[in-house]
Structure 1
Amino acid sequence: MTPETLEPLALPTTPDAWEGWVAARAETGLARARELVDGLRHASSGLTAEEALRTWDDAGLALGDVAAMGSLLGNVHPDEGVRTTAERAEQDVHRVLTELTLDRGLYELFAGLDPDAGRGLDDQGRRLLEKTLRDFTRAGVDRDDDLRARIAAVNERLTEVDQEFSKLIRDDVRTVRVAPEQLAGLPDDFVEAHPPGDDGLVTLTTDYPDAVPVRMFCHDADVRRAMLHAFLNRGWPEAEPLLREMFALRHELATTVGYDDWPSYDAEVKMIGEGPAIPAFIDRIAEAAEEPMRRDLAVLLERYRADHPDAARVEMADASYYEELVRKERLQVDSQRVRTYFAFEKVRAGLLEVTGRLFGLRYDEVHDAATWHDDVTVYDVVDLASGDGLGRIYLDLHPREGKYKHAAQFTLTDGVAGRQLPEGVLVCNFSRGLMEHDHVVTLFHEFGHLVHHVVGGHVAWGRFAGVATEWDFVEAPSQMLEEWAWDAGVLRSFATDEAGEPIPADLVEAMRRSDDFGKGYQARVQMFYAATSYWFHRDRPDDLTARMLELQERYSPWPYLEGTHFYASFGHLGGYSSAYYTYMWSLVIAKDLFSAFDETALPGSPGADPGAAPDDVARRYRDRVLAAGGTEDAADLVADFLGRPYTFDAYAAWLAR
């Protein structure tokens, strides 16, 4: 069966059908998984290793489809009833997964398989068997009955707490009310989109399309401060008990199955390998960023003191605003001018065109596809060389009530060669009009995950499909794709102003120089977040705010804004847990991956050699890194592409320049 013969998932076509569809899909998927596992139990003595693993993988695929649906629709569907049903489905999957991985009979079945019997397992089969056995032992299958029962209860509660934390952040949209004259400095289109209410005041929300421009452009320091205060307090104080419980449960789970702490348990299956290596990596990045941070902070503080002569440090609420002044006055980059070249519709079309050229893909819009909201656009992804359909993508890119507040790629279905098409969803919260260039970069970044999911969704085993690599490599392909959002040739193909004039190359070059400004202190902010994620899990402090203050003073360039609690809306404490360091770990690899490309004519740009579309390097990258999914260790995939192991050198050179 070839990819183009497979059909994408049929979604409900009417609003009132969604809740029943979610419930039915969950029931069917869970029943299918149980049926497959029951078949394993009853036929264990007559199965080859490959047959047993295939049945187990199929059961995992059935459960994964339900969990993916639950996670996606629990975060994006406009109907609260559907979201609740989806969240319940996700809970049910985690409950079944816990039950299965604590089943000693199943473990003994897999432990007793002979990988050499019959035709024997190939390399991927052996890899799957090894990881399956590791999953069982990490789950605690070798503990006694009482401990296994406690582990099951802990896992079930962890799923509930994680969902409660995510829902709290998603639903807690705060507002700032200001007089119209206090919007001075903000772009005209922003002001026009925010008319005063009946009481004469303008309502600003903590959603990104409001919060980011206000912090960057608003002249009124009180408004900037009020916005940041509201933004950093989302989820607080309700998040405090949820986070304490989450950290305690994770620690209990890790120590019950034989690890010193949660970070040690979590790191074992990542590239970094060991929990204590995380703070060592954080400090290595912090040290490398020290000199660049001090250099750029001196420039920023000089400009800040022109308005605040006695200031010892730049206040956090003022940082984005004065950074923009430095870029405009000293680096000749006016972000308000820059954004006039980035109308959302043009950016979306340009993104598809550029990545299509880069990776040898075509995106066919499916105008009659059913979706959960009218904002969502749908495309079938086609391989240009073969004409095969590779999968389907959904772009859900604007904010709305009850929707996930950040930017992420969600799975709808994982792909398996000849079995099921990969389908992925890009969930973001961008303006419908003009976009800040930072948001354009974010869009390219998140789309990198989507390409990885689709291109990597044609391997033989569901366990290795798409972005199923080590967690601390997952961001690298997306971070590398950001580079295309900084290339003058790429941007000129879609970034045009209202008159149709493309963005000037000298402006893009100035934007690059401007982006380099502040990267040292931005790296330190990232290390503050990474340290928070690690030490909150490692030490489980009694006073979260006090520990946050210590870490902020150690790593961040910005002083604490009194009365704020950023961790209460730090959603990565849920999904990434103690491993937020992975963003920077991946960036180190991404900079090395990008070194293989010719920056003077990036493949996929209109200025690149049309005879190399897709470019040989880009095609090799697609085939050896993205298409491989999780079939090999990430370090081996990178070494295969680069012809050598990855190093810290490219990142260090970029940070220092």
Structure 2
Amino acid sequence: MTGLEPLHLPAPEHAADWLAERRTSLLGDVDRRVADLKAAPPGDPLATLRRWNDITLALSDLSAIGSVYAQVHPDQEVRTLADRVVQEASRVSTELSLDPELYAVFAALDPADLLDAGRRPAPVAHRLLERVLRDFRRSGVDRDEATRARLRELDSRQVDLGQQLSRTIRADVRSVRVTPAQLAGLPADWVAAHPAAADGLVTVTTDYPDAVPFFTFARDAAARRALRIEFLNRGWPDNDAVLQELFAVRREVAGLLGYADWPDYASEVMMIGTGEAIPAFIDRIADLALEPGRRDRAVLLDRLRRDVPGATSIDVADVAYYAELVRRERFDVDAQQVRHYFDVGKVRRGLLDVTGRLFGLTYLPVDPAEAQAWHPEVATYDVHRRLPGSDRPGERIGRIHLDLHPRDGKYKHAAQFTLAEGVRDRRLPEGVLVCNFPRGLMQHDEVVTLFHEFGHLVHHVLGGRSEWVRFSGVATEWDFVEAPSQLLEEWAWDPAVLATFATDEAGEPIPADLVERMRRAEDFGKGYHARTQMFYAALAYDLHAHEVPDLTARVEELQGRYSLFPYLAGTHFHCNFGHLDGYSSGYYTYAWSQVIAKDLFSAFDPDDLFEPTVAARYRDTILARGGEKDAADLAEDFLGRPSTFDAYAAWLAR
């Protein structure tokens, strides 16, 4: 990739014109290339796949930039235009996938003729042809014209509904108004950032930098409950109807394609393989987590009874607050004191140092005038491989953009977005980390989240050197995608690692014994957390597998079955569960990936997480391969054996 240039982004005020121009030029390029491919297919199968690679890259370019700008650009007009760009890219992709004439070009290829320049078999190209033919089949290209026409309509509607779901969640920032006295328990810097208005009341919003500290530290139970209800009701009632239609669209798609239901369709291309395996996996995790979850819930309830004598249950409005009290009183870990070691600027620099050392990378800051990101707070870095035996930067292999703080109209959670797919010798991978962290001190769980999401980003960059767009970056099966990110979380818990960047106002590093207590405190509650995750996973599966007339009632039912905390009356969590779009029926993948991540971590030396041989093997056998092999094979290549459930089960039980 030597000499490749990153994207030349427009100045924020020119973004709309730039998006419009890219839409016109890239769609025109796709039309020309498709027409040429159908009119005169190359005789060589490898040349045919490379022509398809060009088409795929142009569509990826259009979709990626549209997706990023739709979620992060500060101008509503630009976000709206970007949504339309994504819709058009999806429409064209659907049209191509349902084109029998185009399909015939690939169906006519003989895999035995897929040979490289030395006339040797080309296994990755062979894999690509298999995936291309599978994608065509899963789109319905072999159905009659009436069915294909209906599938086109349904695909377009599915994109529209997903965007509507996301827009509603982004826009629905709710709040409660409380007295200054009701801020008792909150950190001083948080209180200082929330002055009372002229009427003497303080506004607390459902955005994460407001809500997470409030749920964790505010002593006023009524205020915590009021904000939790508003938090759980974001997107209600509008998204209820949106989700009902989205589920109906997906059910119809699955039926038209001959699948039992949407989970069966979606899981065909995942490690789990079948839809019916999803509830079995969910129940397996739920059963493992039941005993430790009940044990820790009893501790929370005992602590609640000191404040509320006779209390018989504890619900989600109180869990975060009492879990924090338990960690403070039982484990001597005060999250407010811990915060003083995690200034967001130091954490960002530390994250780059840690991952640079681990993966042999150097991050060089890009001048904002050159980067021309969409907002002044975005920090841009070029990613370089380090020269062997040196800290000096070598070849540039990608560019990253860190958009870490909240603002109006921005995506509300934490995620990595692709800005450009990397292609060997043609295109630098570029990725965007989108988060909503405070601008001052962070809680440690926010530090863990940052490491997690950066795991996706570094996977995107290191995996962005394939010849084929289809296998570039984070292109593994969807239920493996989270494993590298969950693995990287472990470095945010290591005392020696944290001591390199977690320092207080006086510059003193976080004490190792405090980190060890934090780790023990973090283990508290993992059973009931796992049960909560299985509630989310069961909800995602169930709402896609069955027609449910009352979504809220099903939320209440499934929460009662899986979560160890009761449903909070009058709330509608599903309306702000944005993963119902992107992950659809597959939210189980977080737990599936965690099982694999615990196994991958067992290969590292806990006394030296930077041991270079293991780190390099992990980088090269898993991250750098993108989607060029099945995820199970990638894990086996690294571990030297098939992945097992053992490490996860041992972790959950201890």
Residue 117 (structure 1) shift? 3.0
2-side partners of 1:329 and 1:102: how far apart?
A: 61
1-side partners of 2:203 and 2:645: how far apart?
A: 46
Partner of 2:80: 84
- Do 2:114 and 2:122's aligned partners in 1 also have CA atoms closer than 8 Å? no
- Do 2:114 and 2:126's aligned partners in 1 also have CA atoms closer than 8 Å? no
Structure 2 residue corresponding to 1:545, chosen from 530, 546, 552: 552
Partner of 1:326: 326
- Do 2:114 and 2:125's aligned partners in 1 also have CA atoms closer than 8 Å? no
Q: Which string of whole-angstrom CA distances, capped at 9 and with x for unpartnered residues, describes residues 201-249 of structure 1?
A: 1111101001100000000001100110010000000001100000000
- Do 2:26 and 2:59's aligned partners in 1 also have CA atoms closer than 8 Å? yes
Which residue identity does 2:386 align to in structure 1?
L
Partner of 2:263: 263
2-side partners of 1:591 and 1:350: how far apart?
A: 23
Q: Secondary structure at the match of 2:331?
A: coil
Residues 1:6 and 2:8 are matched in the alignment: no
Partner of 1:449: 456
Q: Secondary structure at the match of 2:431?
A: strand
1-side partners of 2:542 and 2:145: how far apart?
A: 32
Q: Secondary structure at the match of 2:437?
A: coil
Residues 1:390 and 2:386 are matched in the alignment: no
Q: How many residues align?
A: 643
Partner of 2:144: 144
Q: Secondary structure at the match of 1:409?
A: strand
Written as runs of structure 1 = structure 2, the 5 A alignment for 1:107-118 is 107-117=103-113
Structure 2 residue corresponding to 1:57, chosen from 49, 53, 56: 53
In the superposition, the TM-score normalised over structure 1's length comes to: 0.97
2-side partners of 1:32 and 1:271: how far apart?
A: 35
Residues 1:66 and 2:62 are matched in the alignment: yes
Residue 385 (structure 1) shift? 2.8
- Do 2:264 and 2:276's aligned partners in 1 also have CA atoms closer than 8 Å? yes
Written as runs of structure 1 = structure 2, the 5 A alignment for 1:187-198 is 187-198=187-198
2-side partners of 1:175 and 1:306: how far apart?
A: 29
2-side partners of 1:415 and 1:69: how far apart?
A: 14
Written as runs of structure 1 = structure 2, the 5 A alignment for 1:482-497 is 482-497=489-504
Residue 517 (structure 1) shift? 0.2
2-side partners of 1:246 and 1:449: how far apart?
A: 27
Residues 1:557 and 2:564 are matched in the alignment: yes
Which residue identity does 1:419 align to in structure 2?
R
Partner of 1:616: 613
Q: Secondary structure at the match of 1:330?
A: helix
Partner of 1:217: 217
Q: Secondary structure at the match of 2:2?
A: helix
Residues 1:572 and 2:588 are matched in the alignment: no
Residues 1:526 and 2:530 are matched in the alignment: no
Q: Secondary structure at the match of 1:5?
A: coil
Partner of 2:466: 459
In the superposition, the TM-score normalised over structure 2's length comes to: 0.97
Which residue identity does 2:177 align to in structure 1?
R
1-side partners of 2:258 and 2:549: how far apart?
A: 24
Q: Secondary structure at the match of 2:242?
A: helix
Written as runs of structure 1 = structure 2, the 5 A alignment for 1:469-508 is 469-508=476-515
2-side partners of 1:235 and 1:100: how far apart?
A: 34
Written as runs of structure 1 = structure 2, the 5 A alignment for 1:103-182 is 103-117=99-113, 119=115, 122-182=122-182
1-side partners of 2:414 and 2:27: how far apart?
A: 29
1-side partners of 2:30 and 2:288: how far apart?
A: 49
Written as runs of structure 1 = structure 2, the 5 A alignment for 1:512-523 is 512-523=519-530
Structure 2 residue corresponding to 1:18, chosen from 8, 15, 18: 15
Q: Percent identity?
A: 61
Which residue identity does 2:639 align to in structure 1?
L
2-side partners of 1:623 and 1:493: how far apart?
A: 26
Q: Secondary structure at the match of 2:529?
A: helix
Structure 2 residue corresponding to 1:372, chosen from 374, 384, 398: 374
Partner of 2:391: none
2-side partners of 1:414 and 1:178: how far apart?
A: 46
Residue 58 (structure 1) shift? 1.2
2-side partners of 1:182 and 1:311: how far apart?
A: 22
Q: Secondary structure at the match of 1:116?
A: helix
1-side partners of 2:409 and 2:125: how far apart?
A: 42
Partner of 1:609: none
1-side partners of 2:411 and 2:417: how far apart?
A: 11
Residue 540 (structure 1) shift? 2.4
2-side partners of 1:345 and 1:537: how far apart?
A: 41
Residue 118 (structure 1) shift? 7.4
Residue 545 (structure 1) shift? 0.7
Which residue identity does 2:379 align to in structure 1?
T
